[in-house]
Amino acid sequence: MEFLTVHGADLMFFVFGALALAAAVGVVTLRNPMYCAVALLVSFLSIAVLFLLRGAEFLAVVQVFVYGGGIMVLFLFVIMLINQHQLRETRKYGPHWWLGLVAALVLGLVFVRAFYPAVFSDPASSPPAFTHVEGLALGNSQAVAWVLYRQYLLPFEIVSVFLLVAMVGAVLLGRRQ
């Protein structure tokens, strides 16, 4: 029991990190797009848990709402709209599958070269900036809102215009001619 209270967060990281990675591999390797969508959902939810472990409570909820809810529904809706069972069964991977392995190798080398002798600071507990607003302990949502609406108000408004443009574009693309 004492082991769990001391190393619980570390254990959670390994469990949900492995789950997220396994589900990601499932997205790439499964044949049926519906199974891919379910694997993608598992990956999204595992990453939401990892956000919680790093003190990003607001982002974890946004992850569940936007990815687990909105984007997932979009994917499932399109899969059902297209109904691939009527289509001919074909190969899963394209003719350039070996290019994927080359890209993985190159990216791996770049990563090792960039990070091999890296030293990161590892605070033991969640930083006070995550939950405190001007010395008051209010919570993570308030702290994020404080930074978002004071320092990054213009980008926030630009994002809302971007979402409007994306919505109009999606409606135009999906419209019957």
Partner 1 sequence: MGAILEVGTLHYVVLSFLLFLVGVVGIIVRRNMIVVLMSLELVLNSVNLNLVAFSYANGDLTGQVFAVFSIAVAAGEAAVGLGILVALFRLRQTTELDKATELSG
Of these, 89, 101, 113, 135, which contacts partner 1 (CB under 8 A)? 101
DSSP class per residue in 12-35: HHHHHHHHHHHHHHHHHH-SSHHH
At which residue do the structure tokens 């990601």 appear? Answer: 24
Interaction residues for partner 1, span 126-165 (CB under 8 A) = 126-130, 143-144, 147-148, 151-152, 155-156, 159, 162-163, 165
Does residue 80 touch partner 1 according to CB under 8 A? no
Q: Does 68 bind partner 1 (CB under 8 A)?
A: no
DSSP string of 39-69, one letter each residue: HHHHHHHHHHHHHHHTT-HHHHHHIIIIIII
Q: Which helix (H) or strand (E) holds 136?
A: strand 136-137
- Cβ contact 36:23 at 8 Å: no
Using CB under 8 A, pick the residue from 120, 134, 135, 154 that binds partner 1. Answer: 120
Residues 6-65 that bind partner 1 (CB under 8 A): 7, 9-10, 13-14, 17, 20-21, 24-25, 27-28, 33, 36-37, 40, 43-44, 47, 50-51, 54-56, 58-59, 62-63
121 touches partner 1 by CB under 8 A = yes
Choosing from 80, 104, 109, 136, the residue that interacts with partner 1 (CB under 8 A) is 104
4 φ/ψ angles, rounded to the nearest 5 degrees: -65, -40
